[in-house]
Protein backbone atom coordinates (compact mmCIF):
# COMPACT_ATOMS: atom_id res chain seq x y z
CA UNK A 1 0.00 0.00 0.00
CA UNK A 2 1.29 3.44 -0.86
CA UNK A 3 1.79 6.00 1.77
CA UNK A 4 -0.90 8.65 2.14
CA UNK A 5 -0.18 12.19 1.23
CA UNK A 6 1.39 14.25 3.96
CA UNK A 7 -0.99 16.66 5.59
CA UNK A 8 -0.55 20.23 4.50
CA UNK A 9 0.75 22.54 7.20
CA UNK A 10 -1.95 24.77 8.64
CA UNK A 11 -2.17 28.20 7.13
CA UNK A 12 -1.66 31.36 9.15
CA UNK A 13 -4.45 32.17 11.57
CA UNK A 14 -6.63 35.04 10.48
CA UNK A 15 -6.05 38.14 12.57
CA UNK A 16 -9.17 39.58 14.15
CA UNK A 17 -10.48 42.75 12.55
CA UNK A 18 -10.16 46.15 14.17
CA UNK A 19 -13.77 46.20 15.35
CA UNK A 20 -13.34 42.79 16.99
CA UNK A 21 -10.15 43.89 18.72
CA UNK A 22 -11.76 47.08 20.01
CA UNK A 23 -14.76 45.22 21.38
CA UNK A 24 -12.61 42.59 23.06
CA UNK A 25 -10.61 45.37 24.71
CA UNK A 26 -13.80 47.12 25.83
CA UNK A 27 -15.21 43.89 27.27
CA UNK A 28 -11.94 43.15 29.07
CA UNK A 29 -11.80 46.72 30.37
CA UNK A 30 -15.31 46.37 31.79
CA UNK A 31 -14.23 43.35 33.81
CA UNK A 32 -10.95 44.89 34.92
CA UNK A 33 -12.49 48.22 35.92
CA UNK A 34 -15.29 46.60 37.91
CA UNK A 35 -12.93 44.22 39.72
CA UNK A 36 -10.18 46.72 40.56
CA UNK A 37 -11.66 50.18 40.09
CA UNK A 38 -10.72 52.80 37.53
CA UNK A 39 -7.67 54.14 39.33
CA UNK A 40 -6.06 50.74 40.02
CA UNK A 41 -6.78 49.15 36.63
CA UNK A 42 -3.88 49.22 34.17
CA UNK A 43 -3.82 49.05 30.40
CA UNK A 44 -1.36 46.16 30.60
CA UNK A 45 -3.81 44.10 32.64
CA UNK A 46 -6.68 45.00 30.31
CA UNK A 47 -4.63 43.96 27.28
CA UNK A 48 -3.60 40.70 28.94
CA UNK A 49 -7.20 39.91 29.86
CA UNK A 50 -8.27 40.53 26.26
CA UNK A 51 -5.46 38.36 24.90
CA UNK A 52 -3.47 41.17 23.29
CA UNK A 53 -0.35 43.19 23.92
CA UNK A 54 -0.43 46.63 25.45
CA UNK A 55 0.34 48.02 22.01
CA UNK A 56 -3.08 46.83 20.83
CA UNK A 57 -4.69 49.12 23.38
CA UNK A 58 -2.72 52.16 22.26
CA UNK A 59 -3.46 51.45 18.62
CA UNK A 60 -7.19 51.68 19.39
CA UNK A 61 -7.45 54.11 22.31
CA UNK A 62 -5.43 57.17 23.25
CA UNK A 63 -5.52 56.45 26.99
CA UNK A 64 -7.22 54.60 29.81
CA UNK A 65 -9.58 57.55 30.11
CA UNK A 66 -10.64 57.27 26.46
CA UNK A 67 -11.11 53.51 26.79
CA UNK A 68 -13.38 53.96 29.78
CA UNK A 69 -15.25 56.81 28.10
CA UNK A 70 -16.13 54.56 25.15
CA UNK A 71 -17.12 51.75 27.51
CA UNK A 72 -19.29 54.20 29.45
CA UNK A 73 -20.98 55.47 26.31
CA UNK A 74 -21.65 51.96 25.05
CA UNK A 75 -23.16 50.76 28.34
CA UNK A 76 -25.24 53.92 28.79
CA UNK A 77 -26.71 53.82 25.30
CA UNK A 78 -27.50 50.12 25.73
CA UNK A 79 -29.50 51.00 28.83
CA UNK A 80 -31.28 53.85 27.05
CA UNK A 81 -32.13 51.48 24.20
CA UNK A 82 -33.59 48.93 26.62
CA UNK A 83 -35.71 51.58 28.30
CA UNK A 84 -37.08 52.82 24.99
CA UNK A 85 -37.82 49.30 23.80
CA UNK A 86 -39.73 48.63 27.02
CA UNK A 87 -41.89 51.78 26.85
CA UNK A 88 -42.57 51.76 23.10
CA UNK A 89 -46.30 51.88 22.45
CA UNK A 90 -47.25 52.33 26.10
CA UNK A 91 -49.37 55.09 27.57
CA UNK A 92 -47.49 57.82 29.48
CA UNK A 93 -48.48 56.33 32.86
CA UNK A 94 -47.51 52.79 31.90
CA UNK A 95 -44.29 54.01 30.28
CA UNK A 96 -43.24 55.85 33.45
CA UNK A 97 -43.63 52.67 35.48
CA UNK A 98 -41.91 50.40 32.95
CA UNK A 99 -39.02 52.82 32.46
CA UNK A 100 -38.46 53.02 36.21
CA UNK A 101 -38.53 49.23 36.45
CA UNK A 102 -35.93 48.79 33.69
CA UNK A 103 -33.53 51.35 35.17
CA UNK A 104 -33.92 49.98 38.71
CA UNK A 105 -33.24 46.43 37.51
CA UNK A 106 -30.04 47.57 35.81
CA UNK A 107 -28.81 49.56 38.79
CA UNK A 108 -29.53 46.86 41.36
CA UNK A 109 -28.21 43.97 39.28
CA UNK A 110 -24.86 45.62 38.46
CA UNK A 111 -23.70 47.54 41.56
CA UNK A 112 -20.04 47.25 40.55
CA UNK A 113 -20.66 49.21 37.37
CA UNK A 114 -22.67 51.83 39.26
CA UNK A 115 -19.77 52.40 41.66
CA UNK A 116 -17.34 52.55 38.75
CA UNK A 117 -19.33 55.33 37.07
CA UNK A 118 -19.32 57.29 40.32
CA UNK A 119 -15.57 56.76 40.71
CA UNK A 120 -14.92 57.99 37.18
CA UNK A 121 -17.02 61.08 37.87
CA UNK A 122 -15.06 61.87 41.03
CA UNK A 123 -11.77 61.37 39.18
CA UNK A 124 -13.03 63.72 36.47
CA UNK A 125 -13.68 66.43 39.05
CA UNK A 126 -9.99 66.35 40.01
CA UNK A 127 -8.16 65.49 36.79
CA UNK A 128 -8.56 67.72 33.70
CA UNK A 129 -7.59 64.87 31.34
CA UNK A 130 -10.26 62.59 32.76
CA UNK A 131 -12.72 65.48 32.86
CA UNK A 132 -12.35 65.99 29.13
CA UNK A 133 -13.31 62.40 28.32
CA UNK A 134 -16.03 62.32 30.97
CA UNK A 135 -17.59 65.57 29.80
CA UNK A 136 -17.56 64.50 26.17
CA UNK A 137 -19.38 61.25 26.86
CA UNK A 138 -21.82 62.71 29.41
CA UNK A 139 -22.84 65.41 26.94
CA UNK A 140 -23.17 62.84 24.18
CA UNK A 141 -25.36 60.63 26.37
CA UNK A 142 -27.42 63.63 27.50
CA UNK A 143 -27.98 64.60 23.88
CA UNK A 144 -29.05 61.06 22.99
CA UNK A 145 -31.46 60.93 25.93
CA UNK A 146 -32.87 64.33 25.01
CA UNK A 147 -33.61 63.14 21.47
CA UNK A 148 -35.19 59.90 22.70
CA UNK A 149 -37.34 61.66 25.30
CA UNK A 150 -38.45 64.25 22.73
CA UNK A 151 -39.47 61.48 20.32
CA UNK A 152 -41.50 59.71 22.97
CA UNK A 153 -43.08 62.98 24.11
CA UNK A 154 -44.19 63.66 20.55
CA UNK A 155 -45.89 60.24 20.46
CA UNK A 156 -47.77 61.18 23.63
CA UNK A 157 -48.91 64.49 22.22
CA UNK A 158 -46.86 66.67 24.58
CA UNK A 159 -43.79 67.12 22.41
CA UNK A 160 -43.95 70.92 22.29
CA UNK A 161 -44.58 71.30 26.01
CA UNK A 162 -42.25 68.74 27.61
CA UNK A 163 -38.73 70.07 28.23
CA UNK A 164 -36.73 67.09 26.95
CA UNK A 165 -33.36 68.66 27.72
CA UNK A 166 -34.19 69.42 31.34
CA UNK A 167 -35.78 65.98 31.76
CA UNK A 168 -32.60 64.30 30.45
CA UNK A 169 -30.40 66.35 32.79
CA UNK A 170 -32.63 65.57 35.77
CA UNK A 171 -32.80 61.87 34.93
CA UNK A 172 -29.01 61.55 34.71
CA UNK A 173 -28.56 63.43 37.99
CA UNK A 174 -31.21 61.28 39.68
CA UNK A 175 -29.60 58.04 38.53
CA UNK A 176 -26.17 59.20 39.75
CA UNK A 177 -27.61 60.02 43.16
CA UNK A 178 -29.50 56.74 43.37
CA UNK A 179 -26.32 54.85 42.51
CA UNK A 180 -24.54 56.36 45.48
CA UNK A 181 -27.47 55.95 47.89
CA UNK A 182 -27.96 52.32 46.91
CA UNK A 183 -24.24 51.62 47.26
CA UNK A 184 -24.15 52.83 50.87
CA UNK A 185 -27.67 51.79 51.93
CA UNK A 186 -28.97 48.96 49.73
CA UNK A 187 -31.46 47.86 52.39
CA UNK A 188 -33.59 50.99 52.19
CA UNK A 189 -32.61 52.29 48.75
CA UNK A 190 -33.72 49.04 47.16
CA UNK A 191 -35.20 48.14 43.78
CA UNK A 192 -38.64 49.44 44.71
CA UNK A 193 -37.29 52.79 45.95
CA UNK A 194 -35.21 53.28 42.80
CA UNK A 195 -38.10 52.32 40.54
CA UNK A 196 -40.48 54.67 42.33
CA UNK A 197 -38.07 57.62 42.12
CA UNK A 198 -37.46 57.21 38.38
CA UNK A 199 -41.12 56.54 37.61
CA UNK A 200 -42.22 59.64 39.51
CA UNK A 201 -39.71 61.76 37.61
CA UNK A 202 -41.18 60.69 34.28
CA UNK A 203 -44.76 60.91 35.52
CA UNK A 204 -44.16 64.41 36.90
CA UNK A 205 -42.57 65.66 33.70
CA UNK A 206 -45.41 64.26 31.60
CA UNK A 207 -48.11 65.60 33.94
CA UNK A 208 -46.54 69.07 33.91
CA UNK A 209 -46.38 69.07 30.12
CA UNK A 210 -49.99 67.92 29.88
CA UNK A 211 -51.17 70.80 32.06
CA UNK A 212 -49.04 73.31 30.17
- pLDDT one digit per residue (tens) for the chain, 212 residues: 455 555 555 544 456 778 899 999 999 999 999 899 988 999 999 999 999 999 999 999 988 988 988 888 888 778 777 777 777 777 878 888 888 888 888 888 887 887 888 888 888 888 888 888 888 888 888 888 888 888 888 888 888 888 999 998 998 888 888 888 988 899 999 999 999 998 898 888 888 888 86
Q: What is the pLDDT of residue 5?
A: 52
pLDDT at 58: 92
3-class DSSP assignment, residue 40: coil
Quickly list DSSP for 155-202: HTT-TTTS-HHHHHHHHHHHHHHHHHHHHH-TTTS-HHHHHHHHHHHH
**Maximum distance among all alpha carbons in the chain?**
93
CA–CA dist 196, 172 (Å, integer): 15
Please report which residue ranges of 51-127 form alpha helices under DSSP H.
54-58, 64-87, 92-109, 111-126
What pLDDT is recorded for position 66?
87
Nearest alpha-carbon partner for 176 in 129, 99, 120, 132: 120
Amino acid sequence: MGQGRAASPPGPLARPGRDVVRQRLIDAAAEEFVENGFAAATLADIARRAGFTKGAVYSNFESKQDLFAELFAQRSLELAGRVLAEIAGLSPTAAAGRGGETISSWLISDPGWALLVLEFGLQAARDPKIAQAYLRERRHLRGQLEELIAERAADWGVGRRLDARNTAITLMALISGLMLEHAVDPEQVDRHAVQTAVSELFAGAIASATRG
